[in-house]
Every structure is written in structure tokens, then in C-alpha cells.
Amino acid sequence: AADNFVVYSTNVTWFAFLRFCFRSHLSRYGPCPPFTALMASVPTSFNEAIRTFDQRRLRQTTVQVRTSDGRAKITDRYDNQLSSISSRHFNDDISRYGFISNTSPDLQVAQITMNDLSLCFGSQDVAADLTTLQQHGITHIINLVSDYVPNYFPNLFEYLSLTVRDDLTYDLHSAIYACCEFITRRVLPQGGKTFIHCNAGVSRAPCIVIACLIRKCRLSYDEAYDLVANARNISPNLNFKMQLRALALENS
């Protein structure tokens, strides 16, 4: 009880002291400005803080830009070149490019066989390796990147050359139709085996395989996708996935 009394007495003393200071302030300086007036200069939201921020308060800095051929330059915020960096400043070939370059060939060949349909797919490295193609019994090749990857063995295999862009706007319908027609008219009558390739073999080529399974084998999107994904690691872009889902609904 004595302790509580001491605390209470102390609080009363401090309250009296603060009241005395407040009255002294009023007598000397007049009344305090309203609280709303004090808060008028304080940003009311995060967006307001951004809107009123002065860019001149930012610390100036530079940007180091590296190109795919290893050249580098120092620029300001307006992309004005301030200086260049010679190759001797780079420690190794990997840091020189700003990304890790994997020069080992990707010779994995994924194979899907269903009924009389036999489809293989992979990267452009396989398309350039005659031994790998012959080991897998390939007779026909669908080149989806013929704008920059040549048909390496035109005297040994029958080719379908297309240009399919791996982006969020490309329409797959014409490519799907051309590939299915090629397989129906040129491959199946000969009992052949098709190898479909793009660049890395993870987006365009597997999407064409999925489309062929949907159209020719009447599989659902999920069934075709799982079958292809179990054969090889794939990563189709969102645009292609949406088109393939729509194709499966049309064929259901």
C-alpha cells in the first residue's frame, strides 16, 4: 500500500508540473494551433508521399551495362555513356557475359508412343547429332525454329520447316495444323518416327507434342501434359498453355 501511495503521489506531482508548464506556455505564446493545422503538412497516404517526393533528393548513381558479346559500359540514368570497361577487368568468361553459359550439348530425346503414333522431342542439339537421331530410329524431323536452325541432314530425313515464336502473343493454331497434317500424311503411312525440336526443347516442341496427343489421341489437356512432362522437363509459356487448354475443350 505504501508503494502504491508513492506512485500515486508521484503521478499527481508530475500532472501538476505539466499543467503549470502548459499554462505558462499559454500566457507567453498564446493558444496552440489546432491539431488539424499541424497535420496539414503531413502526407496523408503512401501515394501522397510518393507524389510529393522531390527526385532531387535521390543520390546520383551509375549503371553498368553488359552486352552479350562481353562489352561493358558505364551509363547515367539517361543512358549517356560515361566510360567503358575493357575485357581485362573481367575475371573469367562466365562473369564476362553476366550469365552462366552451358556449352554441353543437350542430347536427351523424350519419346511418347501411343497406338501407331510415335513422337520424339528435344533440343536443337539432337537435330544436329546424326548418331543420336539414328539411334532412336528417327525418320522425319519437324524443325520449329527454321529461321535460325538449319535442316542439318536433308538427304537423310524428311523435314517440315516452321518458325514458331516462344512469346505471349504467338498463335499456335497454324503450326499445330501443319504438324498434324505432316504426321498424318507423311509419317504414319511409312510407319515412321518423328523428332520435333525447337531451341531448348522445353516450350515450343513439347507444346506441339501435347497438341498432337490432344488432336490425334483424344487426350485431355492434363493427360497429354502429364505424359509429356514425365518424359522430359518442360516449361511452356502461359500463352501456349491457354491455347492448348482451349484446343482440348474443342476436341472433347
Active site residues: 198
Question: Which residues on adjacent β-strands are paired with residue 64?
Answer: 74
C-alpha cell at 162: 516452321
C-alpha cell at 251: 476436341
> 160, 109, 106, 105: which is closest to 135 by C-alpha?
109
> 232, 224, 190: which is closest to 208 by C-alpha?
224
C-alpha cell at 174: 497454324
Cα separation of 188 and 185, whole Å?
7
Query: How far, in Å, are 28, 81, 151, 165 from residue 126 at the CA level?
Result: 90, 42, 12, 20
Question: Which residues on adjacent β-strands are paired with residue 161?
Answer: 143
Contact indicator for 197, 124 with CB cutoff of 8 Å = yes
> 136, 129, 134, 131: which is closest to 106 by C-alpha?
129
Contact indicator for 211, 179 with CB cutoff of 8 Å = yes
Tell me the backbone φ, ψ of residue 185, rounded to 5 degrees.
-90, -30
Residue type (1 letter), 153: F
Residue type (1 letter), 152: Y
